[in-house]
Amino acid sequence: MLKNQLLIAALLLGTAASSLAQEKMKPEDTEVWEPVPHVVATPVGQAPSDAIVLFDGKDLSAWESQKNPGQPADWPVAGGVFTVNKKAGNIWTKQKFGSYQLHLEYYIPQDIDGEGQGRGNSGLFLAAIGNGDEGYELQILDSYNNKTYVNGQLGSVYKQRIPLANPARKPGEWQTYDVVWTAPTFKSDGSVETPARVTAFVNGVLVQNNVELIGGTQYIGRPSYKQHGPAPIMLQAHGDPSKPISFKNIWVRPL
Amino acid sequence: MLKNQLLIAALLLGTAASSLAQEKMKPEDTEVWEPVPHVVATPVGQAPSDAIVLFDGKDLSAWESQKNPGQPADWPVAGGVFTVNKKAGNIWTKQKFGSYQLHLEYYIPQDIDGEGQGRGNSGLFLAAIGNGDEGYELQILDSYNNKTYVNGQLGSVYKQRIPLANPARKPGEWQTYDVVWTAPTFKSDGSVETPARVTAFVNGVLVQNNVELIGGTQYIGRPSYKQHGPAPIMLQAHGDPSKPISFKNIWVRPL
Amino acid sequence: MLKNQLLIAALLLGTAASSLAQEKMKPEDTEVWEPVPHVVATPVGQAPSDAIVLFDGKDLSAWESQKNPGQPADWPVAGGVFTVNKKAGNIWTKQKFGSYQLHLEYYIPQDIDGEGQGRGNSGLFLAAIGNGDEGYELQILDSYNNKTYVNGQLGSVYKQRIPLANPARKPGEWQTYDVVWTAPTFKSDGSVETPARVTAFVNGVLVQNNVELIGGTQYIGRPSYKQHGPAPIMLQAHGDPSKPISFKNIWVRPL
Amino acid sequence: MLKNQLLIAALLLGTAASSLAQEKMKPEDTEVWEPVPHVVATPVGQAPSDAIVLFDGKDLSAWESQKNPGQPADWPVAGGVFTVNKKAGNIWTKQKFGSYQLHLEYYIPQDIDGEGQGRGNSGLFLAAIGNGDEGYELQILDSYNNKTYVNGQLGSVYKQRIPLANPARKPGEWQTYDVVWTAPTFKSDGSVETPARVTAFVNGVLVQNNVELIGGTQYIGRPSYKQHGPAPIMLQAHGDPSKPISFKNIWVRPL
């Protein structure tokens, strides 16, 4: 396999190539046969076969309470969906993740009330690194005819990256998030080696195109990085007084 | 809007920030209110409202023959799909595009025959820049239990980037491509300013994660860049002797 | 219109027709132009446009408590579905119906327990005519690998009509009921004029083919008719100790 | 099993029942345990497991030419659908059927032209009994904003039964037919013992509710019965000059 990797490297970087040399190459010279990508089954409407299913309708056994680590995620489950329980606070995955592809579906009640940030507010923390709302938050909010600051609307990296579009469906329809998360890496001294990157689609529409993050989300002040390793994925029990939102069909594929 | 852009720039880059200063900031200080992302309707199973529909089942009026520019794309349309016609050769869009998000569905016949590159071969050229198979090709191939060189299988950037996984469905099922294409830019002297980048999902599974391309696809020899501007999107009428594949539901959102 | 109805009657019954006469008829002679059937829009995945939506994800405002008529249907709603609340008892529609076409979706929890009639038991009463479980019950039950008496399994008219097949999906998947209900009619003395009839599909599979009913459902004893007029549609809060089932997407088209 | 059938008969017909007797019955007395309905798997979007698939996208091997029995059904197949070929004439199934449940999807081109009966005309013959258009025809026609005689529009039993509603989708969308066909039976002298019956849904909307037929379809003259046994299912290549319609996903479950 090493040989093949060298072959690829040569192919990609090959400094000795001249147009003369190229003319004498054969088609076979640029074929690469290894490593063979793993096979993934993709049945329509189901999680890919290599995904870790974080919720499939049954229970929240993949999650736990954030404020009481080790305690169950006390959000009610019924009819194949689960619903935010503000009293129980945020929930996060027991398992920790580096970079990954994630799929999630959320539902804002048809009779949602409130406005601005107080209307269907939750959040998907791509890596939760503290005990509160620390980490990198992709905003979940009812942004259907609901004005707020644009770096805080649906599809934003909260207070850091404005979404490319507003694809919010109206309350009472299921909506989707598809995310590619590239976790940041850190040097031994805690400084950033490679920053975090996010690609995200809401309802199939690109809202973040491999944007580079400048740090973890801050409600007050500027984003900044703190060193961390693999981290849980977190769903926010936002304190706003509007009706609670629901989730289903969550899976993640570590990259 | 200029003021706001300065505000964002300050927010993102602000070098003078100290933790002391940060503590005195208010939540409002990091709210950004403009520019407001445009609204996109996303009805389930349909193209987003801001998409250019390249094929919606009716006809190939958005396409033309590549070898006979200005002539109709002579691939047969029936039942809401269209099918490759090898004799007519490649077809490409009349409209030219820079960077974009694209969705496409393809179908390999259940009774496909052949093997390797000769089994369900076509290609999605993200930008077609010549008169033949020149451009940047995302490979379309029956890679369900069909071995070939890995930089030429489904999901590869042909002879340039191995896919991260093999999510091929078996012949006789519709499959999907979702792509984010970042077109390359060139300096006035024709050299590359920013290389092309591709993110791609096959059947919902990430196969290319914002990979940087080293040039246009080459069947023989190494990829290289040639200066170009906005370019058509092209579908390949591959010369292999297997049964022809079909397409439907193609749309593109310029970014 | 009367004229047309006579024309139809003549066409259908015409006793004077001889083969000689038939040979001299023209195509136009058997065309009927009135009455014109009403137009119904049928968007994919949504209720037909002429349907009365009994639940669309928002609330149970079309329903009320059976045991406390006039009181709200106190079953919890979240994430676009609602779930049986045994303590609150059966719920039925505020509106009364004669004959109709109905669609309903139900969900048995993935971790259902119990067995026989004590496993995912509920019921769709096509016409509820008393204060308890009186009426005509289409059985809802987890019949996936769960043995019980066959006139009490999923798809049966409870204790009256065995289903033609057992199309039960496994717990944790949404399932569908599609029903055509022909209400019984009664003479002025209370005796049956025309008996009730039911056609039903579970998950798209025919389980009852226009079967004639011999009376209302009885848990003990033989079915019998009691005179009634238009009646509510009822969902049963069965007393069995297994986990509660959920419902969504219910609509009815009076015929 | 005989014992059980007697038990059912007794249960259904039992004339000796008095209310006194009924009070002394136990719940178990009206349980029936046999025969056990067969299990049918019902994966979403696929044919039930006990269905005979007449077309699954691959080929028309279940069909043959009507005018040249034994010859292939020469209608073109591409992209998982097949399309009417007028020159080849009607096609019918090699297998013959009695009563059954059937599912079929059809597609009228977005750019359909013509009007009245000359616009998207085809037909589903529930039992084809001759060499031409003889049998029992459920009409397929573009009835979206296209006036014709109502006993000849979409959902009619041609020139015999007006549909209960007009659920036509506009051209360019796939549409569905779901049918329950009860074949007629005949006495040894050729006279009708039990007439044919049809229940049909178009796009999920009931258009025929177990209607009794008065005979086979006639273009000219009154319907009449001719004795027949199991018969092929036929799709019509109508001679009208409008663009051809397509079909997919056809299956049948003998009852």
**AA identity, residue C159:** K
Task: Provide the pLDDT confidence category of residue D16 given band limits of 50, 70 and 90.
Answer: very low
Task: Give the 3-state secondary structure of residue A224.
Answer: strand
C56 neighbourhood in chain A, CB within 8 Å: 110, 172
Indicate yes or no: CB of A56 within 8 angstroms of CB of C110. Answer: yes
Put residue A80 in one of left, alpha, beta given phi > 0 → left and psi -120 to 50 → alpha.
Answer: left
Give which of B34, B208, B220, B250 to mutate to test A binding, by max A Cβ within 10 Å.
B220
Q: Are D42 and C155 in contact (CB under 8 A)?
A: no
Task: Provide the pLDDT confidence category of residue D24 given band limits of 50, 70 and 90.
Answer: confident
List the structure tokens of C188. Answer: 């002025």
Q: CA A232, CA A124: separation in Å to the nearest integer?
A: 11
Residue C72 CB: number of other CB atoms within 10 A?
14
Q: Strands A122-128, C246-254: parallel, antiparallel or unpaired by DSSP? A: unpaired
CB neighbours of D34 closer than 8 A, spacing ≥ 6? Answer: C150, D1, D4
Q: Are A203 and A167 in contact (CB under 8 A)?
A: yes
Report CA-CA distances (Å) from B27 to B35, B110, B224. 19, 58, 49
Q: CA D87, CA A117: separation in Å to the nearest integer?
A: 64
Q: CA C251, CA D9: separation in Å to the nearest integer?
A: 35
Q: Compute the residue count for chain B.
A: 255
Give the E-state strand segments of C62-156 in sequence order: 63-65, 77-78, 81-83, 91-93, 100-107, 122-128, 135-140
Q: Are A111 and A244 in contact (CB under 8 A)?
A: no
Query: Is the minimum CB–CB distance between B105 and chain A shorter than 8 Å?
Result: no
Put residue C72 in one of left, alpha, beta given phi > 0 → left and psi -120 to 50 → alpha.
Answer: beta
Tens of pLDDT, residue by residue over B175-217, are 999 999 999 999 999 999 999 999 999 999 999 999 999 999 9
Query: Is the minimum CB–CB distance between B199 and chain A shorter than 8 Å?
Result: yes
Can you spell out the DSSP letters for B44-66? Answer: TTS--TTPEEEESSS--TTEEES
Indicate yes or no: CB of B26 within 8 angstroms of CB of A220. Answer: yes
The residue whose two tokens read 């994630």 is A102
* DSSP 8-state class, residue C71: S
B78 neighbourhood in chain D, CB within 8 Å: 76, 78-79, 81, 83, 109, 244, 246
Rounded to 5 degrees, what angle do the CA atoms B46, B48, B54 make?
A: 75
Shortest distance between the Cα of B236 and any Cα of chain A, in A, equals 19
Shortest distance between the Cα of C42 and any Cα of chain B, in A, equals 15
Residue D238 CB: number of other CB atoms within 10 A?
21
Indicate yes or no: CB of B25 within 8 angstroms of CB of A220. Answer: yes
- Counting Cβ atoms within 10 Å, is residue A173 exposed (0-12), middle (13-18) or buried (19+)? middle
Indicate yes or no: CB of B111 within 8 angstroms of CB of D83. Answer: no
List the structure tokens of A12. Answer: 């990609």
A78 neighbourhood in chain C, CB within 8 Å: 76, 78-79, 81, 83, 109, 244, 246
Q: What is the pLDDT of residue A141?
A: 97
- CA-based nearest residue to D167, from D156, D157, D180, D159: D156
Q: Are B238 and B186 in contact (CB under 8 A)?
A: no
Give which of D8, D40, D157, D158 to mutate to test C binding, by max C Cβ within 10 Å.
D40
A46 neighbourhood in chain D, CB within 8 Å: none
What is the chain C residue with the closest CA to A76?
Answer: C78
Give which of C13, C176, C205, C252 to mutate to test D binding, by max D Cβ within 10 Å.
C205
Q: Are B204 and B176 in contact (CB under 8 A)?
A: yes
CA atoms within 13 A on the CB side of D50: 17
Q: Strands C197-202, C174-182: parallel, antiparallel or unpaired by DSSP? A: antiparallel
What is the chain B residue with the closest CA to D82?
Answer: B79
Q: CA D9, CA D22: separation in Å to the nearest integer?
A: 17
Q: What is the pLDDT of residue B130?
A: 82
Query: What is the mean predicted confidence (pLDDT) over A192-220?
Result: 97
Tell how far CA D230 is from the center of its chain: 14
The residue whose two tokens read 């091929």 is B168
Q: Strands A81-83, B77-78: parallel, antiparallel or unpaired by DSSP? A: unpaired
Q: What is the pLDDT of residue C200?
A: 98
Tens of pLDDT, residue by residue over C144-176, are 999 999 999 999 999 999 999 999 999 999 999
**Can you give the pLDDT of all 255 residues of chain C as single tens digits?**
344 554 455 455 444 444 545 568 999 999 999 999 999 999 999 999 999 999 999 999 999 999 998 999 999 999 999 999 999 999 999 999 999 999 999 999 999 999 999 999 999 999 999 888 889 999 999 999 999 999 999 999 999 999 999 999 999 999 999 999 999 999 999 999 999 999 999 999 999 999 999 999 999 999 999 999 999 999 999 988 789 999 999 999 999
**AA identity, residue B60:** L
Query: Is the minimum CB–CB distance between D52 and chain C shorter than 8 Å?
Result: no
Residue B106 CB: number of other CB atoms within 10 A?
24
pLDDT at D210 over 80: yes
Q: What is the pLDDT of residue C23?
A: 60
Stated as kind and residue range, the H or E segment containing D126 is strand D122-128
- CA-based nearest residue to B65, from B44, B52, B84, B43: B84
What is the chain A residue with the closest CA to B221?
Answer: A22
What is the chain D residue with the closest CA to C145?
Answer: D39
Task: Give the 3-state secondary structure of residue B5.
Answer: helix
Q: Are B75 and B84 in contact (CB under 8 A)?
A: yes
Q: Which of residues 15-44 of A touch C (CB under 8 A)?
A: none
Domains and CATH numbers, chain A: 67-245 (2.60.120.560)
- Counting Cβ atoms within 10 Å, is residue A16 exposed (0-12), middle (13-18) or buried (19+)? exposed
Report CA-CA distances (Å) from C224 to C131, C135, C192. 17, 10, 10
Q: What is the pLDDT of residue C174?
A: 97
A44 neighbourhood in chain D, CB within 8 Å: 45
Q: Give just the sign of the alpha carbon dihedral D19, D20, D23, D27.
A: negative
Beta bridge partner(s), residue D138? D124, D157
**AA identity, residue A96:** K
Indicate yes or no: CB of B165 within 8 angstroms of CB of A42. Answer: no
The beta-carbon neighbor of C37 closest among D29, D35, D164 is: D164
User: Between these two residues, B10 and D28, which has the higher pLDDT value?
Assistant: D28
* DSSP 8-state class, residue A193: E
Q: Are A224 and B23 in contact (CB under 8 A)?
A: no
Task: Provide the pLDDT confidence category of residue A23 given band limits of 50, 70 and 90.
Answer: low
Stated as kind and residue range, the H or E segment containing A220 is none
Q: Are D167 and D205 in contact (CB under 8 A)?
A: yes
- CA-based nearest residue to A227, from A106, A117, A107, A134: A134
D44 neighbourhood in chain A, CB within 8 Å: 45
- Of all residues in chain A, what percent carry a pLDDT higher than 90? 86
Alpha helices for D40-153 (secondary structure H): none
Query: What is the mean predicted confidence (pLDDT) over B126-155?
Result: 95
Put residue A167 in one of left, alpha, beta given phi > 0 → left and psi -120 to 50 → alpha.
Answer: alpha
Phi then psi for residue B131, to 5 deg, are -105, -10
The CA-based diameter of chain A, rounded to the nearest angstrom, is: 71
Shortest distance between the Cα of D21 and any Cα of chain B, in A, equals 58
* DSSP 8-state class, residue D166: B
User: Between these two residues, B219 and A150, which has the higher pLDDT value?
Assistant: A150
Beta bridge partner(s), residue D122? D140
Q: Are C136 and C195 in contact (CB under 8 A)?
A: no
**AA identity, residue B65:** S
Chains that touch C (3 or more CB pairs under 8 A): A, B, D
Tens of pLDDT, residue by residue over D75-123, are 999 999 999 999 999 999 999 999 999 999 999 999 999 999 999 999 9
Indicate yes or no: CB of A210 within 8 angstroms of CB of B214. Answer: no
pLDDT at B86 over 60: yes
Q: Are C105 and C247 in contact (CB under 8 A)?
A: yes
Indicate yes or no: CB of A166 within 8 angstroms of CB of B38. Answer: yes
ipTM score here? Answer: 0.92
User: Order of strands, edge to edge, in the sheet holding D122-128?
Assistant: D63-65, D91-93, D234-235, D122-128, D135-140
The residue whose two tokens read 């959040």 is A123
Residue A67 CB: number of other CB atoms within 10 A?
12
CB neighbours of C117 closer than 8 A, spacing ≥ 6? Answer: C141, C148, C152, C240
Q: Are D49 and D41 in contact (CB under 8 A)?
A: yes
